[in-house]
Chain A
Amino acid sequence: DAKTTQPTSMDCAEGRAANLPCNHSTISGNEYVYWYRQIHSQGPQYIIHGLKNNETNEMASLIITEDRKSSTLILPHATLRDTAVYYCIVRPYRDNDMRFGAGTRLTVKP
């Protein structure tokens, strides 16, 4: 069973920041927060992950609250190609079972 709660869908205007929330109130100390996305008819694609510090890479930023019970994925300048289902996953260290939930369907609109 997924340990995360995400909104079913969100819209974002092209060029604006997309902020995707995730609730993981039962996260334990050794569990990481992962984000993947799945564009239509493709396999999931890794975006970013973190334990307790905020993380940034070329695709996105991950903000994790101090109590680690929630996080936000930020796409700083959304484009139409960012339209996808975004999955937030909590995963213990050394556990390779990626327990995907239903994710958030992000639609970027012109």
Chain B
Amino acid sequence: EAGVAQSPRYKIIEKRQSVAFWCNPISGHATLYWYQQILGQGPKLLIQFQNNGVVDDSQLPKDRFSAERLKGVDSTLKIQPAKLEDSAVYLCASSLEGTGQETQYFGPGTRLLVL
């Protein structure tokens, strides 16, 4: 079974530029999550999708971050404009239904460096 795919794996940009990350979840998984992991910390949930609808985006900095999952499969996370403090690993995860005690499966992440 193929895992969660993410691209690019690494990205370096200057502050105030924009950047986008792509995630393809495990086939058949209805729920998709984006996490931000700052160096030395655990991942923090940014947004959760159930199919193509947003379930929870309470921790997403909406003035600069946006995410979409238009067809309920793959998803894009965008930052515009980027700040130095956005330097982090952006992890995508998916789970089957998003209910109860489901296991979340994580992708390898995209490492972003903002200069």
Instruction: Give the A-B pair count, Cβ closer than 8 A.
Output: 54
Question: What residues of A have a CB within 8 angstroms of the CB of B106 in the complex?
Answer: 43-45
Contacts of B65 in A (CB 8 A): none
Tell me if A's interface is mostly helix, strand, loop or mixed.
loop
Q: Given the complex of chains A and B, what is the CA–CA distance between A32 and B104 in angstroms? A: 14
Residue of B nearest to A45 (CB): B106
Contact with A along B46-75 (1 / 0, CB 8 A): 001000000110000000000000000000
> Is A97 in the interface zone, CB < 8 Å from B?
yes
Shortest beta-carbon distance from A17 to chain B in Å: 24
* Tally of chain B residues near chain A (CB < 8 A): 28
Q: How far apart are the CA atoms of A46 and B101 in the complex, in Å?
A: 12
Known: A43-B107, A98-B43. A32 touches B91 (CB 8 A): no
Q: Which residues of B contact A41 (CB under 8 A)?
A: 108-109
14 more CB-based (< 8 A) A-B contacts, given A43-B108, A46-B103: A41-B108, A42-B108, A44-B93, A45-B106, A46-B104, A49-B101, A87-B42, A96-B48, A96-B95, A96-B102, A96-B104, A98-B43, A98-B45, A100-B42
| 18 A-B pairs whose Cβ atoms sit less than 8 Å apart in the complex | A43-B4, A43-B91, A43-B108, A43-B109, A44-B43, A45-B106, A46-B105, A91-B101, A93-B100, A96-B55, A97-B48, A98-B35, A98-B104, A99-B45, A100-B41, A102-B40, A102-B41, A103-B42
